[in-house]
Amino acid sequence: MRNNESKKSFLGYIAITLALAVVITGTTALIKMNPTADAEAVTVSENATVVSSPFTEAVQKVRGSVVGVNNYTTYSSRNSYYGYGYGYGFGNGSGSSNGDDSSRQVLQGSGSGVVIAKGYVLTNYHVVEDATMLEVTMGDQTYSATVAGTDETLDLAVLKVDNLDIEPVVLGDSDVLNVGDWAICIGNPLSFTGTTTVGVISALNREISNNTTDAYGLRTNDVNLMIQTDAAINAGNSGGGMFNVAGELVGVPSMKYTGSYYSSSTVEGIGMAIPINVAKPLIEQVVSGQTVSGSADSTESSGSTNNAAIAAVKPRIGVTVTNINSSSAVVANGYLPNGVYVKEVESGSPAEKAGLKVGDIIVDVDGTVISSSNQMISILQAKNVGDTATLKIYRANVNLEEPIEDYTTITGDYIDLTVELAMLDTAQP
């Protein structure tokens, strides 16, 4: 009897154990089938919501008006290698020759530009500097361009591009910008066309110094007020556009800083742009049809042409000139430009009537840079009585025929004069 009861108890235990096993196994299966049974169900929309940034509309509005600018220089292929790097924000170009004697147009750098009127593109001066040929590009389209106006001091240039059918941007007002405003920069860094970067206006009226030497050898230290931004500006961005969120052009990216001259530290997020209000006078003059360009020891040099004579039958302006010693310290260091020094102005002559004075330095005649009196005379000899000559002169605040103790005190101005040639008694220029 007791054996039967024990056997029944043993079988009962086995049944309970099997039942528990079935329950545990079923629960485990349910957990594996639905591991997130307690989590909220995930819903996938058939029409996903498109979220636009505050910049999208502005970028779409102006991106097509930012173009590329290619700067070409003529090189002789006798040179075995050519490759030039440009300052911050301007691209690089390089190449090699095959050893023949031909000359060719070589791409020396690429930058950006913005269409600011029908057929006109605003860019940086350093993007087009020293170019013998310029191209404007948009996608796979290429257009020939010419310089219509420049201001080297401001680092600005305006190009004339025929057949350029691209919508111009709207010029904004850089005087109403505030620190913290959004800044949208669009350009072609490293040839990645139409690249958009976004940041804020980090500072206004940053004083940036820049030493420049003009076509006549005069060196100046210019201080410009710039817009600082942390929007990325890289090689190739120069001349592109800085826009506000309304898509208005408020600045022209010009340079970036990567480190300090006095330390080995590197920096990021410091770029500079030229305020658009600074560029507006140049733009207005060029688009209105005007051509705009911005901008020696007293002893005679050996071999200079003093009182160089020309045939008496030729018309003259009535001056006595001499070459400036271009190797003298005052010229070599850029305190005075190279050119032709006026030693005497004849009374009643066309030169006197035009306003030319003793001590003036003639640096340009009819758009040709002059470094010797022979050059000047050659140009004037080709003219007839009644023809005019346009002279650019530099008038300094010092007497060049006296020793100059402190070159740093020299100041002066460029002046444009128009002189009408006439027949005079003596055979001087």
Q: Spot the catalytic one: 174, 238, 328, 349.
A: 238
What is the C-alpha separation between 270 and 258, in angstroms, rounded?
8
How big is the chain, counted in residues?
Answer: 429
- The CA-atom distances, in angstroms, between 429 and each of 123, 343, 351 are 40, 12, 10
b (16+ CB within 10 A) / e for 378-387: eebeebeeee
Give the CA angle between residues 363, 369, 374 to the nearest 5°.
80
Catalytic residue list contains 126:
yes
Asked if residue 247 lies in contact with residue 136, where contact means CB atoms within 8 angstroms, the answer is: no
Q: Spot the catalytic one: 155, 214, 360, 364.
A: 155
Catalytic residue list contains 238:
yes
The Cβ of residue 361 has, within 10 Å, a number of other Cβ atoms equal to 26
For 384-428, give the DSSP string.
Answer: -TT-EEEEEEEEESS-TTS--S-GGG--EEEEEEEEE-B--SS--
Q: Spot the catalytic one: 65, 110, 126, 254.
A: 126
Catalytic residue list contains 181:
no
- Which residue from 68, 215, 83, 72 is spatially nearest to 142, judged by alpha carbons? 68
3-state SS, residue 361: strand
Catalytic residues: 126, 155, 238
